[in-house]
């Protein structure tokens, strides 16, 4: 490095120290001078010390970084211990922050500047959000913590252990990719659970329908339809909630499918958008004409990351993937469409994930697109029938004709839109 680049990188090291020191200094701003172990200047100098050490290490050897870091850590810890002893403060955050500041300052000189800066920003945010994070942790329940641990185990422990290759005679089941898809669905479902917890189901049926649609539009439909038995005066409101959950389902299918296989966008987007617009308009009409005296039912969504549910989801996706390959071998594309129809009666996620993975590879792209659309249409009409069966004729008709119109709109686009 020439002198200009060295000065530039040292400036970044100093800026990293200043950023962390600003947060630390502001937090201890009420303390008198010389009564705290580290403030704005100390952290700024820590970052600069790391940068200078990085420059010197390129001349005398990398071992210098280790020696200086150990000496710095011991000195910083000693002074912080004296402060903690005087104030009876058991927090070790400042010590860890000082060590990371030194190392980020070194990284800014010897490694990637952008990574060092990103690390400093992340650390500053974590330090600044201390109270908010503590409140958030205090508000967690054990089922929620367990769900986070399950998701982390799925992602970081089990996933790397799975073979990343097909393990069946039809080359349909790749355990690594299958589990990765399960993680994707579990994450989306957990987002719906958190949405209900944060927003609160008493704030309105609309918000709970959105969150429920993220977790499971079919389960949300069944819940709202059952509520209609007890609150028939809220048929329009509950019907709107069912339609909103359907809109979220359509959007979720599109996002997941395109995220896995972006070549599906051209064929999926026009019909799904058309059907989604009809569902949105229908929900808006029902909301606008609802009875002002209608009660606002409560919706409780179970934790979507129960281990049993996750295993069942993985097995169901695996069965759909395997069945798609077997039916394609024996019946061709007709078998895949038949599978999409049968699968869509209960769920759209499995067939969506399967077709997105296989489309353009083992299955023709047009067949995969059509299969996803068939599953969405079948699921939409099946939920309308479920609404009528569970909730009664009035809410069934409200949801049914709008759902049929949405499916008709999507079909019209498929037949007449050249790009679909």
Is residue 13 located within the same domain as residue 113? yes
Is residue 173 located within the same domain as residue 272? yes
Asked if residues 214 and 188 have their Cβ atoms less than 8 Å apart, the reply is yes
* pLDDT over 90, % of the chain: 26
Which residue, 83, 116, 136, sits at the end of a domain? 136
Closest CA to 144 of 191, 179, 182: 191
Average per-residue pLDDT for the chain: 80
Is residue 346 located within the same domain as residue 267? yes
Identify the DSSP state of 159.
G
Is residue 188 located within the same domain as residue 336? yes
Identify the DSSP state of 201.
G
* pLDDT over 70, % of the chain: 78
Is residue 50 located within the same domain as residue 175? no
Asked if residues 226 and 390 have their Cβ atoms less than 8 Å apart, the reply is yes
Is residue 150 located within the same domain as residue 253? yes
Is residue 54 located within the same domain as residue 105? yes
Q: How far apart are CA 255 and CA 87, in angstroms?
A: 53
**How many CB atoms lie under 10 A from the CB of residue 418?**
5
Residue numbers of the domain that contains 299? 140-416
Which residue, 104, 136, 168, sits at the end of a domain? 136
Task: Give the mean pLDDT of 279-299.
Answer: 70
Q: How far apart are CA 316 and CA 311, in angstroms?
A: 9
Q: What predicted TM-score, i.e. pTM, was given to this entire model?
A: 0.54
420 has a pLDDT exceeding 50: no
Q: How far apart are CA 114 and CA 120, in angstroms?
A: 10
Helix 393-416 / helix 235-260 crossing angle, nearest 10 deg: 30
Q: How far apart are CA 298 and CA 204, in angstroms?
A: 9
Contact residues for 62 (Cβ-Cβ < 8 A; gap 6+):
none
- Give the pLDDT band (50/70/90) at residue 299: very low
């Amino acid at each position: 490095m020439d002198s200009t680049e060295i000065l530039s990188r040292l400036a970044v090291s100093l800026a990293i120290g200043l950023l962390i020191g600003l947060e630390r200094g502001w937090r201890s701003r009420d303390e008198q001078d010389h009564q705290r172990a580290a403030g704005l200047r100390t952290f700024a100098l820590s970052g600069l010390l790391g940068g200078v050490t990085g420059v010197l290490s390129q001349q005398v050897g990398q071992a210098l970084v280790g020696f200086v870091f150990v000496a710095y850590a011991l000195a910083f810890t000693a002074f912080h211990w004296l402060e903690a002893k005087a104030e009876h403060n058991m927090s070790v955050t400042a010590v860890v922050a000082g060590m990371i500041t030194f190392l980020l300052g070194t990284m800014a000189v010897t490694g990637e500047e952008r990574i060092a800066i990103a690390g400093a920003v992340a650390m500053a945010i974590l330090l600044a959000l201390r109270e908010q994070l503590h409140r958030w942790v205090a508000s967690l329940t054990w089922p929620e913590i367990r769900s986070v641990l399950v998701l982390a185990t799925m992602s970081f422990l089990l996933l790397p252990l799975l073979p990343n290759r097909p393990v069946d005679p039809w080359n349909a089941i790749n355990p690594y990719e299958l589990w990765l898809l399960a993680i994707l669905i579990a994450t989306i479902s957990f987002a719906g659970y958190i949405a209900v917890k944060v927003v609160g189901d008493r704030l309105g049926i609309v918000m709970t329908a959105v969150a429920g649609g993220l977790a499971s539009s079919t389960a949300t439909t069944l819940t709202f339809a059952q509520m209609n038995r007890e609150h028939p005066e809220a048929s329009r409101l509950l019907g709107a909630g069912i339609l909103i959950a359907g809109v979220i389902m359509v959007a979720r299918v599109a996002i997941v499918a395109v995220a896995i296989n972006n070549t599906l966008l051209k064929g999926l987007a026009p019909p799904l958008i058309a059907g989604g617009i009809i569902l949105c308009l229908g929900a808006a009409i029902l909301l606008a004409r609802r009875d002002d005296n209608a009660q606002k039912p409560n919706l409780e969504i179970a934790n979507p990351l129960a281990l049993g549910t996750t295993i069942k989801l993985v097995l169901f996706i695996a069965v759909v993937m395997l069945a798609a390959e077997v039916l394609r071998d024996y019946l061709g594309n007709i078998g895949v469409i038949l599978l999409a129809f049968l699968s869509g009666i209960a769920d759209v996620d499995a067939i969506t994930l399967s077709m997105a993975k296989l489309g353009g590879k083992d299955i023709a792209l047009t067949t995969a697109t059509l299969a996803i659309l068939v599953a969405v249409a079948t699921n939409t009409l099946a939920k309308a029938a479920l609404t009528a069966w569970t909730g009664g004729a009035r809410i069934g008709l409200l949801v049914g004709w709008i759902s049929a119109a949405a499916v008709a709109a999507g079909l019209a686009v498929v037949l007449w839109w050249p790009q679909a």
